[in-house]
Chain A
Amino acid sequence: MLLLTCPYCGVAAEETELAPGGEAHLARVGPEGTDDAFHAYLFEKENPRGVHFERWRHAMGCGKWFHAARCTVTLEVFGTYPAQTTEPPEHIRAAISAKRPGWTWRDLA
């Protein structure tokens, strides 16, 4: 069972109260992008064994989108944070580094 704490309403929401939204921090490729860049944006998603960043929505609760950093192997949650950011905040990265020294994800480390 996965429990994620919604950063907006503070509820430690059980997975069935949430809707998954896929990989976090994707930069949209618009009409000016190349075919290769657009293809990568649409289809080349991270699917790591370990540290991962995802979007979730508190669909059955306050309705807000938020971000979660977790481990796909152990389901350990490193933290959740608001959607109004383009990259994981420092305290989330520090929490991951404490548990998984040397972690990498895309161009983050």
Chain B
Amino acid sequence: MSEPASALGVARAEGYVAVAELPPQGMISVRGDLSEEGVAQALADASGAALPGVRGITHAGETSLAWMSPDEAMLFCGYDEAEELAQALREALTGAHALVANVSDARASFELTGARVREVIAKLAPVDMERFALGEIRRTRLAQIPAAFWMPEEGRLTLICFRSVARYAFDLLAKAAETGAEVYAR
């Protein structure tokens, strides 16, 4: 089988916040009514994480489970585990009105690190970053493209977007995070 490659060859930019493209990540999209017991249980079992509430993201080791809409969840895992995990989910959801898709190759992921990650995102998305909470996932607009992000901890932010717009997202983030582009004086 061919080697999986990230969209930009794990590009990296050092500014007042560092922007790094992450190597290929496992992502499984699950559509189904999350308020249904069977769907919720299958997701919790597969991920090992607690079912997140509205706009929440929960973690269990390397696996994360995100609330994307009332009938959509996203499971993040190692790239190599995705296919097996998706198959297990499909089996667990047999009979339920649900759909499972391994979308790992459809997305690009970035990690931003630095004390001022909130400021960099605030330049690009219509989100009140001062009040953005850890444990929250936000689907929004990053300039002209759809994106989603969460903060695993203060000073670190993970962002995903469609792979087809990875270059746009990276250039945008790198420009906003460039040294000298700080908004507030420290």
Q: Which residues of B contact A13 (CB under 8 A)?
A: 126
B contact patch SS: strand
- B126 pairs with A10, CB closer than 8 A: no
A11 to B41, CA, bound (A): 26
B69 & A60 in contact (Cβ 8 Å cutoff) = no
Number of interface residues of A (CB under 8 A): 14
Residues of B within 8 A of A60 (CB): 139-141, 146
- Output the nearest chain B residue to A8 by Cβ-Cβ distance: B70
B126 touches A62 (CB 8 A): no
- The smallest beta-carbon distance between A9 and chain B, in angstroms, is 6
> How big is the B interface, by class?
10 to 19
Given contacts A60-B140, A60-B146, contact A11 B69 (CB under 8 A): no
Determine how close the nearest CB of chain A comes to the CB of B118; give it in whole angstroms: 17
Nearest CB of chain A from residue B41's CB, rounded to whole Å: 22
List of 4 A-B pairs having minimum Cβ-Cβ separation, nearest first: A14-B126, A62-B69, A60-B141, A61-B139
Chain B residues with a Cβ under 8 A of chain A: 54-55, 68-70, 72, 126, 138-141, 146
* A-B residue pairs in contact (CB < 8 Å), sample of 17: A8-B69, A8-B70, A9-B54, A9-B69, A9-B70, A11-B138, A14-B126, A17-B141, A59-B146, A60-B140, A60-B141, A61-B139, A61-B140, A62-B68, A62-B69, A63-B69, A63-B72
